[in-house]
Structure 1
């Protein structure tokens, strides 16, 4: 997600009708988010007491890098005594607070075991200059390396990935959390044929209802409600609808090999404006060029996930009703390639 966003704990539920277009919380939704936040605080307090204080090099032998991000790196390591292969995420203290490290570490632990989520091990390490934690190793890179520009993935692979991601997101939502950072770079691939994937990187995951304000420029995965001036001056209560929007954008990428727009801003991005016109009219002549080659089933699925109004947006579980149906038209590679230099390509 772009930039660092100021966040606070779950908000008070607004009065009936207040900020409904921005995803207001019901009492049940608010309670679920508060329970998740309290459970994370308890786990963080316990984990702070059980940190292993040692230099990583004393315990593990680095094999090779697995990934590099803005705030840290992931490396493949082996245990010096047992020889076990593990993935180690290392966050420098210069850019990561103890609380920030404990939060990401404990979110991963709180998700338990799920076949489409990277398994976290309960080992946190504090070294002189960094914080680290261990997870299962996933060795075939991230999903972005498998998406062919202006082509995407083969349709069976696109549906397999979508089904597994949907299951992972539902698992997260059932625990009162919102993932908030769905993009191909955070989806790790388990095998060369892209049969199995795992969701990783929970640094942006927050309890439902946490107040959020966007402070950086929006990207294609940013839901439009985050781009508007919120009715609540303190920010927008986080809802699973944010993940549904990002899932819709990711599915479009898997099917076409490019983004549907650069920013979901009607007055700024002509691709997004064209999408809104077509969505409102339903007329074939209004269909935007990037959407050529998709089937009616894909249109219905994506228009549901990409509803600009979060309360009307389809939940991520809506994917299940579209699996096994064609998402690309016969004879179409993945949608017509657009002119070089157009948005999101």
Structure 2
């Protein structure tokens, strides 16, 4: 969809925007979620008898244009089987903008991720398969989602048999300008992550991605207890210091941003953890990953591999001589060569050679988790109460050869996010 076509669609929708009173047309059952964008309600259409999820955005804090833009983008993409369906119902009340979308009866992806465990690997493969096709479809329309994370993946069936990408409030046209990100934003690609004083005082113009992943506070673990390691807890109920997530200089919205976020999301599914806090050299976990990536390339690897698994740059004797230089960082050691190959594609630091979502489909042909690592660790229940996970390397403390205990690794990140079915109308 071209920017001109989207602008025209928004203009036509604005002309036909219906004014109504909610109780006259819908019977509200319950609230499904809420956030800074507004709220999502489960409701029954009184005339049709159809259950719907009503996304409602307060007019006082949501611009009319951004609301119409999100609705029109969502509507134009909703025909895809792995993108949430949108009914042709868009309206305004004296206090709200709203539109109706498909009900996701099983909640969102984040609700089923067990902290420090994740989901069964088969479920993770189902998610990757469906999201890869959804993102490929979106990219074919010259759009970039810019906010791929578990909260924005809705469950429309059990065991991740049917998942749907949602929340297009931050979706941008390919090549449009966006702001870089500061603070703990694990899903943000390295080319989007800003360190130091870069971009300070960059002005008010434009839109940022600094709300990806939720708000940030420190020194609590996933149970809410104080943490001596000062791990980072990401919570939708907390307030982010303005300096931590201040917008940086301009970047371009490119499909490679979605590829990176898809890789991080897949890691979270398999481990219940974030691989790092920020994708920049000052983050020790990301620094370890980057060194591993570069060491393989320096030894002759290409950084991009085919469906046969991880590309080996040396024979077994040479690998023994290289020793730990070719071991993946601690948080990646439970994965099979096939899964490592997937991560090396999606999480390639260079966006120009990063794998596309469609290319990720070639890694679905085999297991992703080593059998001894996956045995007895992948629960299938739902998380009750606070949701989230920690960075993957922490589990290495409890493992080692033969199930023993290895040396303590870096302190790791803790994540919890408020239950939100859908996200921002405003930018």
Instruction: Give the structure-2-normalised TM-score.
Output: 0.69
What is residue 211 of structure 2 aligned with on the other side? none
In 2, the alpha carbon distance for the partners of 1:184 and 1:284 equals 36
Matched, 1:281 2:295: yes
What is residue 258 of structure 1 aligned with on the other side? 273
- CA root-mean-square deviation: 2.0
Matched, 1:116 2:67: no
In 1, the alpha carbon distance for the partners of 2:98 and 2:323 equals 53
C-alpha deviation, 1:82, in angstroms: 2.6
Kindly indicate whether the alpha-carbon contact (under 8 Å) linking 1:218 and 1:227 is maintained by their aligned counterparts in 2.
no
C-alpha deviation, 1:226, in angstroms: 1.0
Instruction: Give the structure-1-normalised TM-score.
Output: 0.85
C-alpha deviation, 1:308, in angstroms: 1.2
Q: Which has the higher helix share?
A: 1
Matched, 1:272 2:313: no
- Gapped regions of structure 1 (runs ≥ 5): 1-34
Matched, 1:315 2:384: no
What is residue 340 of structure 2 aligned with on the other side? 299
In 2, the alpha carbon distance for the partners of 1:69 and 1:184 equals 16
What is residue 202 of structure 1 aligned with on the other side? 168
Distance 1:260 1:78, change over 3 A: same
SS of residue paired to 2:57 = strand
In 2, the alpha carbon distance for the partners of 1:192 and 1:207 equals 33
Matched, 1:343 2:407: no
Greater C-alpha Rg: 2
Kindly indicate whether the alpha-carbon contact (under 8 Å) linking 1:157 and 1:195 is maintained by their aligned counterparts in 2.
yes
In 1, the alpha carbon distance for the partners of 2:31 and 2:333 equals 39
What is residue 263 of structure 2 aligned with on the other side? 248
- Gapped regions of structure 2 (runs ≥ 5): 200-247, 297-321, 378-391, 398-407, 415-427
The 5 A counterparts of 1:137-148 are: 137-148=103-114
TM-superposition CA deviations, 1:187-224 (whole Å, max 9, x none): 01112322111111100001001111125535010011
Distance 1:37 1:218, change over 3 A: farther
Kindly indicate whether the alpha-carbon contact (under 8 Å) linking 2:34 and 2:40 is maintained by their aligned counterparts in 1.
yes
Kindly indicate whether the alpha-carbon contact (under 8 Å) linking 1:301 and 1:318 is maintained by their aligned counterparts in 2.
no
Kindly indicate whether the alpha-carbon contact (under 8 Å) linking 2:345 and 2:360 is maintained by their aligned counterparts in 1.
no
Stretch of structure 1 that moved more, 311-320 or 277-286: 277-286
Kindly indicate whether the alpha-carbon contact (under 8 Å) linking 1:261 and 1:272 is maintained by their aligned counterparts in 2.
yes
In 2, the alpha carbon distance for the partners of 1:95 and 1:244 equals 31
C-alpha deviation, 1:78, in angstroms: 0.4
What is residue 24 of structure 1 aligned with on the other side? none
What is residue 55 of structure 2 aligned with on the other side? 89
Matched, 1:326 2:380: no
In 1, the alpha carbon distance for the partners of 2:4 and 2:342 equals 35
In 1, the alpha carbon distance for the partners of 2:103 and 2:27 equals 14
Corresponding residue pairs, total: 309
Stretch of structure 1 that moved more, 125-134 or 327-336: 327-336
Stretch of structure 1 that moved more, 206-215 or 90-99: 206-215
In 2, the alpha carbon distance for the partners of 1:82 and 1:199 equals 26
